[in-house]
Structure 1
Amino acid sequence: MKRIALFHLETLMWIDRLGTFAAAAQRLNTTQPAISARVREIEEQLGVPLFQRDGRRMVLTARGRRLVQDCEPLRQGLERVLLDASDFAGATGTVRIGSGEIAAATCLPDFVGAIERERPGVTLEIELDLTARLLQQLLSGMRDIVFLAGPIASPGLRTAPIGSVELVWVAGRSVAEAGGFAGSPPNPPLPVWSLPDHSPLHGVTLATLGQHRIAAPALNTCNNVRMLIEIVARGQGAAVLPETMVREELANGSLQEVLPRPTQQVHFEAAIRDREREPVILDLFERAARLSIERPAF
């Protein structure tokens, strides 16, 4: 019979966090039968069941929960000591990053480049999504670090501000030269585009239209900022967009400002779970906290 090893405890932790043997297997780069075998080995060694099924999820029994709570600080402490001894040069594993499009177009490339150079054993899995879904994925354990439009006030999170992005009202050159929102009748009202309603840009769009007493037609939405830029640049309407993502278009004149810049800015944060104890994830979060989203990655 195999003796209990660190990888057994790591397996218990990830099953507890992700809820299924299959998810833990994917996270640990192994197979579901291997995960089942590890759990069986621990239960045989201890003589007690550690998991019970709750619907589709596997949850720890009272004995299993106590084992994880008692052993997890020891496992992570040993891992931290070993990584510190090598200055994290030997860090390995997969870290799942979630990011909005604005962060992905500004500070995320520098972050990825630094990890590739200085933590070559760490693999990054990056997925782009909107803030609401990224938050759910983080809290459910499906993402390890996320870059969110904030500020975020949610229990169970540890966040670090990484700056703010100025917003601009822009339209394509032909629309701007025709007067933008002030274009003469009988021209139809200028179409307005935005991200979906759970995005901060959507709220700023509606608020500033109201401030300028512009009765725009129904708000068109698209969940991709790059596509919004393309739509607007082609003369198909106007939109509130992050200045960092349209700086080049403003410089060459393909986009032009058609209303005063909103006073509101979009703030961004890096976030992890408050109970996160994985040394590699904590190391990457400390690096993420030093990023600046104001710097475009052109």
Structure 2
Amino acid sequence: MTITLSQVRAFERIARLGSFHAAAKHVGITQPSISQRIKDLEDILGVELFTRNGPRVALTSEGHALLEYADRLLETADDVVVRFKRRDPLLGLLRIGVNESFGLICLTDLMRRLERQYPKLKTSVIVGDTGMVSALLNDHQLDLAVISEPGVANHVHQVPIGRNELAWVASSDMDLPSGTLTPAQLAAHHLIVSPQTARLHTTMTNWFAQGGVAPERVSTCNSLSVTLLMVRSGFAIGLVPIRVVSDEMAQGRMVRIPVTPAVGAHRVSLCYQIAQFGPNLQAIVDLTKELIAHHQLFK
């Protein structure tokens, strides 16, 4: 047997009001019914929760211990009802999806701001590529997302927030031909890029197709931060968002490879579930846009 919310609520009301009669009246059931709920609860827990002294009751030591749990259980239950009646993710768990550019540059600031403004809010963050995050949005498994070139259904709204500029980059120690490189010249080198589910992989394939060639050796990695480590080590040349390597280039550890034709930028959108939109979610949308502008993440 498991305890029920009705048993917990009956216990909490008796503890607060001091009598079975007052609690039954408050809950809207008969006194025998509330007595049965407490008996069932005591049987499940194997303890006595109250000492009786006529119509008045007092908590036993086990009752005092249970009261803290009861308060938390009932508060959570009430939060669930409010969250889904109002369709407001900021009243419970906010599920966020982001591309790695946002994750590396802006996510920590966003989490800190949310912590200050919504101290009871819990968050679940998924960092993934366009295919993964779009699928989760379409399946109602995310409330809000920042992704490039999203492929989302009609129940998801898109707010354009900029363009993610891309570049071919290499370790500053790598021996490369001088001047501007063409797809044919770059195709002979070892390359590393995101997997096929990522928009970045499609951009790479299309860029070489423009030059009428196919790259000879392409490795893939689903982590942008790990990709950057491998590029920095000289393992391969990478196609990455330029903003995430700006510090590396300023420090002389990586170089941007000039190419022709230019690699097209990705359109980035802030997406959210239309059914959940309201003032609170608008505040998160505004905060996210503010952080993107502050960090100059997208053009």
TM-score range, shorter chain: 0.5 to 0.7
Q: Which amino acid aligns with 1:97?
A: I
Name the residue aligned to 1:129.
Answer: 128
Measured against aligned partners, the alpha-carbon deviations of 1:114-137 in whole angstroms (never above 9, x if no partner) come to 212222221222121222122222
Q: So what's the TM-score if we normalise by structure 2?
A: 0.61
Of the two, which has the highest radius of gyration?
A: 2
**Structure 1 residue 284: deviation in Å?**
2.3
CA distance in 2: counterparts of 1:270 and 1:257, whole angstroms: 28
Q: Tell me which of 86, 109, 116 is aligned to 1:76.
A: 86
* 1:124-151: CA deviation from partner (whole Å, max 9, x where unpaired): 2212122212222222222211111125
Match of 1:264 in 2: 264
Q: 1:153 to 1:92 in 2, by over 3 A?
A: closer
Q: Does the aligned pair in 2 maintain the 1:175–1:237 contact within 8 Å? A: no
Map residues 1-16 of structure 1 onto 2, 5 A cutoff: none
Q: 2:40 — aligned with what?
A: none
Residues 1:207 and 2:206 aligned together: yes
Equivalents in 2 of 1:30, 1:269: separation in Å?
A: 38
- CA distance in 2 between counterparts of 1:279 and 1:95 reads 15
Kindly report the root-mean-square deviation, in angstroms, between the aligned alpha carbons of the 2 structures: 3.7
**Kept after mapping to 2: 8 A contact 1:192/1:238:** yes
| Counterpart Cα distance in 1 of 2:104 and 2:114 | 17
- SS where residue 189 of structure 1 aligns? coil
Which letter does structure 1 place at the counterpart of 2:225? R
Counterparts of 2:137 and 2:103 in 1: how far apart (Å)? 17
Partner of 2:15: none
**Cα distance between partner residues in 1 of 2:211 and 2:273:** 40
> Mean alpha-carbon deviation: is it higher for 93-102 or for 201-210?
201-210
Q: Secondary structure in 2 aligned to 1:248?
A: helix
Distance 1:179 1:233, change over 3 A: farther
Q: Specify whether residues 136 and 214 from structure 1 end up closer, same or farther in structure 2 by C-alpha distance, changes over 3 A only.
A: closer
Correspondence for 1:138 = 137
Q: What is the CA distance between 1:173 and its match in structure 2?
A: 1.8
* Cα shift at 1:213: 5.3
CA distance in 1 between partners of 2:179 and 2:129 (Å): 29
Q: Is the 8 A contact 2:164 2:297 kept in 1?
A: no
User: Whole-Å Cα distance in 2 between the matches of residues 180 and 131 of structure 1?
Assistant: 33
Could you state the TM-score of these two structures normalised by the residue count of structure 1? 0.61
Structure 1: which 5+ residue stretches go unaligned?
A: 4-28, 36-67, 81-90, 183-187
What is the total number of aligned residue pairs between the two structures? 219
Correspondence 1:104 to 2:111: no
Q: Contact (CA 8 Å) 2:83, 2:92: kept in 1 or not? A: no
Q: Is the 8 A contact 1:76 1:278 kept in 2?
A: no
Deviation of 1:209 (Å): 2.7
Q: Secondary structure at the match of 1:174?
A: coil
In the other structure, the counterpart of 2:275 is 275
2-structure distance, mates of 1:142, 1:239: 31
Query: What letter is aligned with 1:287?
Result: L
Q: Do 1:172 and 1:234's aligned partners in 2 also have CA atoms closer than 8 Å?
A: yes
Q: Measured at CA, do residues 123 and 156 of structure 1 come closer, stay the same or move farther in structure 2, by a change above 3 Å?
A: same
1:60-90 per-residue CA deviation (whole Å, 9 max, x = no partner) reads: xxxxxxxx9xx999x429x89xxxxxxxxxx
Is there any run of 5+ residues in structure 2 with no aligned partner, and where? 1-5, 7-26, 29-71, 182-186
